[in-house]
Each structure stands twice: as C-alpha cells, then as structure tokens.
Amino acid sequence: MTTSKLTLISHPLCPFVQRAAIVLLEKGVAFDRIDVDLADKPDWFMALSPTGKVPLLKVERQDGRDAILFESMVICEYLEETQGGGKLYPEDALSRARQRAWIEYGTATLADAWQFLNAKDRATADAKRAAFHGRLERLEEALEQGPYFAGPTFSMVDAVFAPLFRYFDLIDPGVTQTIFQGLPRVRRWRHALALRESVLAAVGQDYGHRFKQHLAGHQALLAG
C-alpha cells in the first residue's frame, strides 16, 4: 500500500471525477481536491492534462517529483491496486472481467443519459430517453439480489453508476418515475447507491443547485 500524498483535480459537476472521489472515500484515503473551471482552463491545468479533461490524480512521489494520472478508470484501478480499505473488484478473474465489461457499458449508458438530460427539443429527448431506458432494461436482467450490482458488497461498478443515477434525484420526479418504471431491481439499486456515504460525500452540498443551473444555461427541456 502506498502512502503518497494524493490530490484529485476535479470539476464540481463531472461524473467521471465522482468515480475517483467515491473510490478514494471507500478506501478511507486522505486526499486534497482542487476544482478547475473547465470553461476557462488555467495554464497550469493544461500543462498537466494531456486531454484537457478532469479528473487528474496527482501522486506525490518520494523523490519529490509528482506523477499525474488521467482517465477516471485508470485512476480508480491505480487506487484499487495501491490503497488499503475494502477491495472493489472480486478476486475471481471471470467476475472481475465481467465487472469491467459492465463499467464500459456504464460509460455508454452515461452518454445516453446525459444527452437526454441536456436535450433542447422533444424529438431528441424522446429518442435519448428510449435509448437510456433500453440500456436500463439490460441492467435489470444483469442485476442480482442486491442491494448493489453484485450483491451485498459495494464494487467498482457501483462507483461508476452512482454518479449517473444521482441526476435523476434532481429532475422532475414524474420524469424519473417514467424512466425507471418496470425496472424494480434497477430502482432498488439506484436507491441503495443514493444512500451510500461515499456517494453522498463525492459531491459538494451545492451540487444540486449547480446542476440545475447547468440545465438552465444549456436551455434543456428539463430545466423547466
């Protein structure tokens, strides 16, 4: 286990940052957090980030030189391999591979959800809501007894889906109810994740306000 000082470079609304924050919190790792304005990226951030995106994890090494990790799942897997706390991947290779596959699925699901949430016209909203609901139907088939993805133990898949589900606590409850209708396992999973301490602590207290401001600023249908 490493004892390097860790700094998470983030944005208050980024769901990919939340993945890394949830893993850090699950493992009980002390870390600093620095938010950047992605609409006006500072020069120091652009010098560190090859993609111009968050999250970044700055790892202070013993030789005094900082290592910079980018891409959320790279950061999460580094933390899994180097930090203590509960393991977020199963020991069994097949189960671990299955979880990694559903993590990839989670990223694609997030894209459909985000396009639905930010849709400015009814046709786009309806198409993306149908696409997102279809992805949830596949998850309904894959879920086990719960309360988490693979049963009673919180895993890396849960860290990936929790930021996605958080959005649906913040929009019109009628819209959310329609999307999750007929998906009892997904609904139970979503509610269990919403109550998880690490999920709650991964965002600031003003997250809901910031997200609603984002929708309004993008003139999304759901802003109203």
Report pLDDT digits (tens) over 29-54.
999 999 999 999 999 999 999 999 99
- Residue 45 to residue 37: CA distance in whole angstroms: 10
Rounded Cα distance between 17 and 22, Å, is 9
Instruction: Supply the pLDDT for residue 20.
Output: 98
| pLDDT score recorded for residue 3 | 65
pLDDT score for 42: 97
- Give residue 136's pLDDT: 98
Say if CB 56 and CB 32 are below 8 A apart: no
pLDDT digits (tens, 9 = 90+) for 8-18: 999 999 999 99
Indicate which residue of 14, 23, 119, 162 is catalytic. Answer: 14
Both tokens assigned to 205: 């207290």
> pTM for this structure?
0.96
Residues of the chain predicted below pLDDT 70: 1-3
Alpha carbon distance 222, 169 (integer Å): 13
User: Which pLDDT score is estimated for 1?
Assistant: 61
Q: Tell me, what's the pLDDT at 63?
A: 82
Class of CATH domain 5-82 = alpha beta
CATH code assigned to 93-223 = 1.20.1050.10
Matching fold, domains 5-82 and 93-223: no
| 76 among known catalytic residues | no
CA distance 199 to 211: 16
Q: Where are the chain's structural domains?
A: 5-82, 93-223
Q: What per-residue confidence (pLDDT) applies to 76?
A: 98
Contact 190, 180 (CB under 8 A): yes
The whole-angstrom separation of Cα 187 and Cα 140 is 9
